[in-house]
Structure 1
Amino acid sequence: MACNKIITIGRQFGSGGREVGQKLAEKLGIPFYDKELLKIAARDSGICEELFENFDEKPTNSFLYTLVMDPYSLGFGTSGELPLNHKVFLAAFDTIKSIAEKDGSCVFVGRCADYALRDYSNIVNAFIYADIDDRIKRIAQKYELTDAKAKDLIRKEDKSRASYYNYYTSKRWGEMKGYDICLNSSQFGIDNCVDMLYDAVTKY
């Protein structure tokens, strides 16, 4: 089936949002972009791929983080030069828009894609969340962690994603009114979330 939609998926860590996005892209027969986006942005911008990985959905309002990762933003670089984290974000931002223009239809996971493409009319913005117990189980199994360590990692990653998203957009990460559809993967399961998004994209 031909699809003329761009789907962006925000997700809680451990909710299965990436899997939902990947399966949806396969079902629609359109390209899927998650970390693949970083390689393309690095290639197109000339910025080292490692920098994209270092700044990928990481908090930007921590003084210590900025001091370690981005001394330019504290005035140690060339006068008037954009902070490195801003350069990396803008490069990824431009890459998302370029891919959307080229592909026409695709699925993006994370990285403020909904904000980058906010002026597009053929876009569906989704957010996948899940119950904490299910997320702990998924992350503990995936990374071979204890439940306690999995829970700590979930809190850390969610906080990081929220900080990144809230810093660079005019919206709040995970806030229902910022998305077209929010789905609980604990309630519906991964495959049903895929099916519901598929219906939302192809029938409306």
Structure 2
Amino acid sequence: MTKKYIVFTSEYASAARYIAKELEKKLGIKFYGEEDLLIRTAKESGIDEKVLSEYDEKLANSKFDETLQLNELDLGLKIYNAYSDTILKIVEVRKVIVFLWKEVQI
């Protein structure tokens, strides 16, 4: 069986989420948004949802503050790996549309 998936990343006000949701309706393919991925990643990795959410916000703000501590970078790697594992598990099982709020290499 060939695995098929569509991954969206977007810039603010790009309408990518709208397009992804329309594709979900037209193609009958499950859509996973940021909240879906956060909840599933927390469940599968054991990392608290609040930690995942707050780290993402902190990372977005770190573009202005270049002083991320070493332990924060270690946490970032754990979070990155947890999200990557979750996404890879999702696309392994079924046809999906994945919406990522920022560009991520998996």
TM-score by length of 2: 0.79
Deviation by residue 1:150-185 (Cα, 9 ceiling, x = unmatched) = xxxxxxxxxxxxxxxxxxxxxxxxxxxxxxxxxxxx
State the match for 1:6 in structure 2.
5
Q: Which runs of 5+ in 1 are unaligned?
A: 74-81, 117-204
**Structure 2: how far apart are the matches of 1:94 and 1:54?**
20
State the match for 2:84 in structure 1.
93
Instruction: Output aligned runs, 1:1-204, within 5 Å.
Output: 5-35=4-34, 36-56=36-56, 58-59=59-60, 62-64=65-67, 66-67=68-69, 72-73=71-72, 83-103=74-94, 105-110=95-100, 111-112=102-103, 115-116=105-106
1:92 offset after TM fit, Å? 0.3
RMSD value, Cα: 2.4
SS of the residue corresponding to residue 19 of structure 2 reads: helix
Amino acid at match of 1:15: S
**Structure 2: how far apart are the matches of 1:25 and 1:14?**
19
Aligned residue pairs: how many?
Answer: 100
SS of the residue corresponding to residue 40 of structure 2 reads: helix
Deviation by residue 1:43-70 (Cα, 9 ceiling, x = unmatched) = 0000001111123373456434x35xxx
Contact 1:51 1:88 in 2 (8 A): no
Contact 2:4 2:91 in 1 (8 A): no
User: Which shifted more, 7-16 or 48-57?
Assistant: 48-57
SS of the residue corresponding to residue 17 of structure 2 reads: helix
**Structure 1: how far apart are the matches of 2:56 and 2:103?**
11
**Structure 2: how far apart are the matches of 1:37 and 1:50?**
13
TM-score by length of 1: 0.44
**The structure with more radius of gyration:** 1
Amino acid at match of 1:63: E
